[in-house]
């Protein structure tokens, strides 16, 4: 007896990010989130990291030329309908990613992984400066408060600051900016979404739209991988054809479930659980 093949044809998304040896963040979290949303995930690895639930011991960046080769291999074979970027490691890789993505038309979610949970800066000043080219290509940029402060050069400590930073990122060319509120004070987490007039361009013309998402704060420090999972969930929802605002709203709701039902593994705080997304398929 043999089984007949019954293939499925999910939409395809791409993550361009670093590898987390501990499995809680990076491309590992990205692919889990994409799969949970019924999307086939492909991956371009920008760096390998020796890390676990307790911290990062070593980082090895992949040569920018190999990043480009991986990207070309994926694009030549798959119909990629959404992309997200995560840890890009060096100025050369940031610039390479911006150039590669400028060749395509799929929506791009940029998670600017610049500042660790400890507050440590993860990129050189040159790499931080190189992000401007990627911002101009982004459908959505998803910085936390610390990363938004690096990108715009001003402190982000209040909701007003978050809105101002989002407006500045849209003015610099992003279609929209989601400034995450997890690092801000308060019993609730308020994420601020600023959408340009077209949802794709600089916001010139009509005033940008500002939307806030407020959710209870989960009493845990096990949030490793939350930024990766959120940006990947948004990319997956865009790949499924959801409008930007709906995709962000759904993914923000998903994150509460991912944190509440996080993985209790390793000797550190643990990691979020992308497969627990309420919006999973």
Indicate whether 117 belongs to any domain: yes
Indicate whether 77 belongs to any domain: yes
Indicate whether 120 belongs to any domain: yes
The helix (run of H) or strand (run of E) holding residue 170 is helix 159-171
Q: What is the CATH number of the domain that holds 234?
A: 3.40.1190.20
Supply the DSSP string of 24-60, one letter for each residue.
SSHHHHHHHHHHHTT-EEEEEEEEEEEEETTEEEEEE
- The least confident of 70-79, 102-111, 112-121, 152-161 is 112-121
Predicted TM-score (pTM) of this structure: 0.94
- For the stretch 46-96, pLDDT in tens is 999 999 988 888 999 999 999 999 999 999 999 999 999 999 999 999 999
**pLDDT band with cut points at 50, 70 and 90 for residue 121:** low
Tally the domains of the chain.
1
Residue 187 near residue 218 (C-beta atoms within 8 A): no
Indicate whether 4 belongs to any domain: no
How many angstroms separate the Cα of 244 from the Cα of each of 158, 177, 194, 215? 24, 11, 11, 19
Q: Which domain holds residue 245?
A: 12-273
Indicate whether 278 belongs to any domain: no
Residue 155 has pLDDT above 70, yes or no: yes
Q: What angle do CA 155, 252, 52 make, to 5 degrees?
A: 75
- For the stretch 239-266, pLDDT in tens is 999 999 999 999 999 998 999 999 999 9
Residue 174 near residue 138 (C-beta atoms within 8 A): yes
Indicate whether 3 belongs to any domain: no
């Amino acid at each position: 007896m043999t089984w007949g093949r019954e293939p499925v044809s999910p939409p395809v998304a791409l993550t361009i990010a670093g590898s987390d040896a501990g499995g809680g963040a990076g491309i590992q979290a990205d692919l889990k989130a994409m799969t949970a949303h019924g999307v086939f995930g492909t991956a371009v690895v920008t760096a390998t990291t020796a890390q676990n639930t307790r911290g990062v011991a070593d980082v090895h960046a992949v040569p920018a030329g190999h990043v480009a080769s991986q990207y070309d291999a994926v694009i030549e074979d798959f119909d990629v309908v959404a992309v997200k970027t995560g840890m890009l490691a060096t100025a050369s890789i940031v610039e390479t990613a911006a150039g590669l993505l400028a060749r395509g038309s799929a929506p791009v979610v940029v998670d600017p992984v610049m500042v660790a949970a400890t507050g440590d800066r993860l990129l050189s000043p040159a790499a931080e400066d190189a992000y401007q080219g990627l911002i101009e290509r982004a459908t959505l940029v998803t910085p936390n408060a610390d990363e938004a402060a690096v990108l715009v050069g001003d402190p982000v400590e209040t909701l007003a600051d978050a809105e101002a930073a989002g407006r500045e990122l849209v003015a610099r060319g992003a279609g929209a900016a989601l400034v995450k509120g997890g690092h801000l004070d308060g019993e609730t987490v308020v994420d601020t979404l600023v959408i340009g007039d077209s949802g794709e361009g600089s916001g010139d013309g009509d005033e940008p739209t500002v939307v806030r998402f407020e959710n209870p704060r989960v009493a845990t420090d096990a949030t490793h991988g939350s930024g990766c999972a959120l940006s990947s969930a948004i990319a997956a929802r865009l790949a499924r054809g959801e409008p930007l605002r709906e995709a962000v709203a759904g993914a923000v709701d998903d994150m509460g479930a991912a944190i509440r039902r996080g993985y209790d593994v390793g000797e550190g705080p643990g990691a979020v659980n992308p497969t627990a997304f309420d919006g999973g398929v």
